[in-house]
């Protein structure tokens, strides 16, 4: 396993991060297997574990907490808040009121006294970023949180938050978690260079593009136990043009991987780890078999320039094959009331 500094924090983390969204009701309901996944990942050298309060509505954090008993001190543990955690309109978002409650709930479920990286799961246009930074700064000073970060923030909001932290003497965001893969390269245009300029540690989610870059989806074949098989309304399969283009690209990428002496999964993970702004790729296995198929990429530090050039020829830099892969759509685009009088 290789390790990199998490931005300018001085914390060293593995280039593969264990994502846990598939633990519990959303994926694997066998808690013993989830524990074995955690143990095997840690034994392989993974020291960064990522979760969120909303995963399986809190159940995932509880499973992670139990799985880490006796090994908590060896792990850089990251979780997130923002998404709704109940019908109450104030049990969501980025307000001080919710943050102070959400962190206590996560600490209890995780069975720990502190969170290493506490992340804002998505932007909240209704809340002043200074309100959010103020609450998070208090948590850092109280010792409940070590570092604070964001997820799926546009470049301009990352810059605004850095400016507000400086002007108001708040703790600043030091990490960003974003969607990035061979098939979803939009982050290259603005967010990744912005993170690099501000020395943010970058964790990449969906580096396998929702399973596409495992090679499991082929023309006329959707495995029943895959994410798309379990969710018949999977967004890629609603868009025939995006689906067909991805099918074509996966075939070409698979051939490139074999020519390069890699598996398709290793090609995909090696690609995101080649970007100078990226610290760690979040892998989200549902089973032990899936974990084992991805751990080999922990030995990669990136891909050779000639292989990256051939990927560029297939998917241009900054291009998302499916626009829905961006990870976040600002309300100004999704709410007509914000652009009409």
Ramachandran category for residue 210: left, alpha or beta (phi over 0 → left; psi -120 to 50 → alpha):
left
Helix, strand or coil, per DSSP, at residue 201: strand
Q: For residues 152 and 180, is the Cβ–Cβ distance under 8 A?
A: no
Side-chain-side CA neighbours of residue 68 (13 Å): 26
In the numeric block, which tokens belong to residue 7? 């931005």
Q: For residues 11 and 3, is the Cβ–Cβ distance under 8 A?
A: no
In the numeric block, which tokens belong to residue 73? 């001190």
Side-chain-side CA neighbours of residue 56 (13 Å): 19
- Whole-angstrom distance, CA of residue 288 vs CA of residue 264: 18
Q: How far is CA 70 from the centre of its chain?
A: 25
Which residue is catalytic, options 3, 55, 118, 217? 55
DSSP for residue 5:
E
Residue in this structure with the two tokens 């067909």, named with its chain if needed: 244
Is 55 noted as a catalytic residue in this protein?
A: yes
Going from the C-alpha of 265 to that of each of 202, 213, 229, 279, 292, the distances in angstroms are 20, 6, 20, 18, 11
Q: For residues 106 and 115, is the Cβ–Cβ distance under 8 A?
A: yes
Nearest one of 312, 297, 306 to 185, comparing CA atoms? 312
Q: E strand or H helix at 253, and its extent?
A: helix 240-259
- Whole-angstrom distance, CA of residue 216 vs CA of residue 307: 22
In the numeric block, which tokens belong to residue 310? 């051939």
Length of the chain: 341
Query: Which residues are known catalytic residues?
Result: 55
């Amino acid at each position: 396993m290789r390790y990199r500094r998490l931005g300018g924090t001085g914390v060293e983390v593995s280039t593969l991060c264990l994502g846990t969204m598939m633990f519990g009701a959303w994926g694997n309901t066998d808690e013993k297997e989830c524990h074995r996944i955690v143990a095997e990942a840690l034994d392989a050298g993974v020291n960064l574990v990522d979760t969120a309060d909303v995963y399986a509505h809190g159940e995932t954090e509880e499973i992670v907490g139990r799985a880490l008993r006796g090994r908590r001190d060896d792990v850089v543990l990251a979780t997130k808040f923002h998404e709704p955690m109940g019908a109450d309109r104030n049990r969501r978002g980025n307000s001080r009121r919710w943050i102070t409650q959400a962190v206590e709930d996560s600490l209890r479920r995780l069975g720990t006294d502190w969170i290493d990286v506490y992340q804002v799961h998505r932007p909240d246009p209704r809340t002043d970023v200074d309100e959010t930074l103020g609450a998070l700064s208090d948590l850092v000073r109280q010792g409940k949180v070590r570092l604070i970060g964001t997820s799926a923030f546009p470049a301009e909001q990352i810059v605004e938050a850095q400016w507000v932290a400086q002007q108001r003497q708040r703790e600043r965001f030091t990490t960003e978690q974003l969607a990035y893969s061979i098939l979803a390269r939009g982050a290259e245009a603005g967010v990744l260079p912005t993170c690099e300029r501000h020395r943010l540690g970058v964790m990449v989610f969906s580096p396998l593009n929702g399973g596409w870059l495992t090679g499991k989806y082929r023309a006329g074949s959707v495995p029943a136990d895959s994410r798309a098989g379990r969710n018949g309304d999977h967004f890629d399969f609603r868009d025939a043009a995006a689906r067909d283009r991805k099918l074509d690209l996966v075939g070409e990428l698979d051939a490139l991987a074999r020519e390069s002496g890699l598996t398709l999964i290793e090609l995909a993970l090696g690609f995101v780890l080649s970007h100078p702004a990226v610290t760690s790729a979040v892998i989200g296995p549902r089973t032990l078999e899936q974990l084992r198929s991805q751990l080999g990429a922990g030995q990669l530090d990136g891909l050779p320039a000639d292989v990256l050039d051939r990927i560029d020829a297939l998917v241009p830099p900054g291009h998302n094959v499916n626009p829905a892969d961006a990870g976040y759509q600002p309300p100004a685009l999704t709410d007509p009331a914000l652009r009409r009088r």
